[in-house]
Every structure is written in C-alpha cells, then in structure tokens.
Amino acid sequence: MNSRIAPTFLTEHLRHKIGDARKLCVAFSGGLDSSVLLAGLAELRDTTLPQVELRALHIHHGLSQFADDWMAHCQAFCHQRNIPFSAVKVQVDAHKGGIEAAARTARYQVFAGNLAENEILLTAQHLNDQCETFMLALKRGSGPAGLSAMSADSSVHGYRLLRPLLDLSREQLEECAARLQISWIEDDSNRDARFDRNFLRLDILPALYQRWPHFASATARSALLCAEQETLLDELLSELLTALTDDEGSLSVEGLKAFSAVRRSALLRRWLASCGAKMPSREQLQRIWDEVALSREDAQAQLVLGSLVIRRFRQRLYLLPEFQSLKDVVIQWDPAEKLTLPDWLGYLKADPDPALQAAKYVIRQPRTDEKVTVRFKAHGVIEKVGRERARQAKKLWSELGVPPWQRDRIPLIYYNEQLMAAPGWFTTRQSQPENNEAQWQIVWSALP
C-alpha cells in the first residue's frame, strides 16, 4: 500500500481499464476519488485519446450545509479542464433504509435517467472501498453473491458501469492527486462513525491495515473468487432456470420441488436477480418457499421484497410491483371520447365500425336511459355469453385463468348498474342487442 507510482501510471491504467469505451460520464462528487478519476481521464483525453467524449455529472443531495459550495467547486474543477458539467438536485428520504441507502438509490436513479445512448457511467470506488463493501456484506451474513462486493465492469438499470479504480488504494490516489496538483472536497459526514461504513473506515480497518498491510488486497481477492463462483453457478443453472420460467417470467413451483433445498435456493436467487429484485436474506428466501410457494391453493399468499411482491398462482411464482387498488374506482364515460385509465392501464375506446361487429367482444350501444361507467370490481353473478350457467365473479375469473391481483385491474363496462363486458375477456347476456340495436366494440389498448 506504499508503492510509488510513475508519472504516467494513472493515464496508462485508465486507458487499459476503459478499453474501447469512448463516451464517458463520470459520477463526480468532488471528493478525492472522483477528482482523481476525472482529472486522469481529462489528461488521457488531452494527451493520448482525443476521441474520448468526457463529461461530469454531480448529484446535489442537499444533506450538508456545504452542498452548494461543493457544487460550485465541482463546476469550477470541470471548467478548468474543459469538461462539460451538469448537476442534478435530489430529495433523499431517510426513512427508506437510512440516509446512506436512500442517497445511493437517489444517485443511481439520476444516473439511469440522465445517461445518453451508448454513454458509459464511471464511478470512482477504490481498493479500500471494496474492502469496506466486503466487510459490510460479511457483517450482514451474505453469501458469495453479496461477498462478491463491487464489479469493475457491470450492467445496472440498463446501462454499463465501470469502476476503473477498484484495484488502486487510497494512498495511490493521494499520490496521483499530488502529481496532478488537484484539490478535493472533504465531506464532513465522512467523520460520522454512526454510519456503518464510516465506523469501519475510521475505527476498525486502520488497525487491520497496520497489522496486515495487504488486508485490502486480500479481501479484494476473496471478493473476486466469490464473484467467479457466482458466475460459474450462473452458467451451470442457466439452462435449468430457463426451463422453469415461462414467457411471463413466472417460475414453476412444481419444478422446484424436484430439487434439493440448496439448488432450489440458488435457482430462486437467480430468478429474483433476473427480475431486478433486491436479493433476499436467507430467512426471506425460506419464507418465499414456505409461506408463498407452499401455501394452500386457495390462499392469496404474498411476500414483499423491497418495492416488489412475490405471489403464487396455479403453482407458479410471480414477481410483481405493488399495484394500486382500483376496486372502489368508478369512472363516468362518454364513449364518444377515448378514456385514459388510471395507474397506467392504457385506454378504452368504443368503435362503432360495422366491419367490427362480427368481432368477439361486440356489445349493444347504451339506450337513452343508460349511463356508461367503467369500474374495476365485479360483484355477484355474471351471465357470460357462451356459457350456459351463470357464475360468481370470483369463480368466473378463476375459470378464465385470471390471477387474483389482475382481477381488480381489468376495466369493466357498466350500463347503469348492469355489467356489460370486460374488454378482451367476456361479454354478458345483457349486452346482446335486441331488435337491430346499434352495436360497437369496446377496445382496451396499452398506452402508446
């Protein structure tokens, strides 16, 4: 950790790490790490790779009284080096997992929304950060996936993320900063040992580094070995996971029952990861199996995992967002106008084209004494066209294969208090025309 660095070390290191990437956006806080990264890339652009397109993106969290000063410092830093600069202010909700987690979530939401096409995000985590991440995962009791810590090259939220400084120590970055003659921001919150990462950095790791100077490098190797193991498992289980997953992304419970608990857990974790879910703890994973997968067939079991919900229907597991309840929504509708439905459910339109009247879901037009409403909750008995006997709403939805969580999200066309149709699903006996009444087709379409 005390190795000296040749004057050209940083630019050569960065050229190797970015490979053929040329459209670069640096997450720039103004601290030592991101300042060295940004200045090093500017030097690389100016001396070796003029085709590099480089810009800086600063996140203004508003958590410190010095936040405005930091933003001004970052802007001046970039202006001095001819680097395009932009800043985005965010609101951090500390109730969502604490300040550290909420700030991190806010940052990555900004990155996902501000990167241009084919632009690559670069962040400045270094070897000591990797060690801290590994230790925090160890404290949480994480398995190989968590202990893999941070990847030098990954894809998150639809964009590519590079961390080119992961194998450089903070001491090496300080040497680079001295050679480049740059100043940086010292975030006052970094001295607050109430935060777990700061506690490690300030109170624990210095003693470990003093006793074992190569401790950070050793933990980085362990993280790499864990990552390699996870990659191997991904390859070995990929074909099996594909066989257990259908076109809707749901996972077969019956298929999982055939495997050992260890393999089943590995498949569940990879299924969740493929759906973008937060990785569950060991306890949560067991609850997914015991309380959701193995629940009674008539139970509407579910388990919340971050912003998503795991549900089961007909021996398959589904990972879904938490839907807004629409069961009490009633919308007055003039079918002469297109109706936009709530909660991004698309829109309805009535098509009176005679050529469509042979279509499957055609109904009569309302009579003069009938008002048209759109609702999302069916009650009582439904007399479905094409079925001899009426059925209770719940049993009809089950017969049609509609999962419980979708049943209150299908628009239902009512004339006064009488159900006429569920567009795309069924029409009722009461919707059929009499005495050559005018007809139309109600079309339910996704938002463009």
Task: For residue 176, give the H/E element and its range.
Answer: helix 170-180
Beta-ladder partners of 316: 252, 313
Q: What is the 3-state secondary structure (H, E, C) of 134-170?
A: HHHHHHCCCCHHHHCCCCCEEEECCEEEECCCCCCCH
Q: Using CA atoms, how far apart are residues 385 and 363, in angstroms rounded to an integer?
A: 11
CA 199 to mean position of chain CA atoms: 29
Rounded to whole angstroms, the maximal C-alpha distance in the chain is 94
Q: Is 343 annotated as a binding residue?
A: no
93 close to 81: Cβ distance less than 8 angstroms: no
Radius of gyration from C-alpha coordinates of the chain: 29
The pair of structure tokens assigned to 399 is 């017969």
Q: Is 196 annotated as a binding residue?
A: no
Q: Is 32 annotated as a binding residue?
A: yes
Contacts 24+ apart (CB under 8 A), 80-85: 81/38, 81/39, 81/42, 82/42, 83/38, 83/42, 83/54, 83/55, 83/56, 84/54, 84/55, 84/56, 85/28, 85/55, 85/56, 85/58
CA 297 to mean position of chain CA atoms: 30
Q: Is 34 annotated as a binding residue?
A: yes
Strands, E, within 230-379: which ranges? 251-252, 302-305, 308-313, 316-321, 330-332, 339-340, 347-351, 362-364, 372-375
Q: Output phi, psi for 305, to 5 deg.
A: -130, 95
Half-sphere exposure of 331 (CA within 13 A, CB side): 19
Q: Is 29 annotated as a binding residue?
A: yes
Q: Could you tell me whether strands 347-351 and 391-392 are parallel, antiparallel, or unpaired per DSSP bridges?
A: unpaired
Q: Could you tell me whether strands 330-332 and 372-375 are parallel, antiparallel, or unpaired per DSSP bridges?
A: antiparallel
Report the binding-site residues for ATP: 29-34
- Give the annotated binding-site residues: 29-34
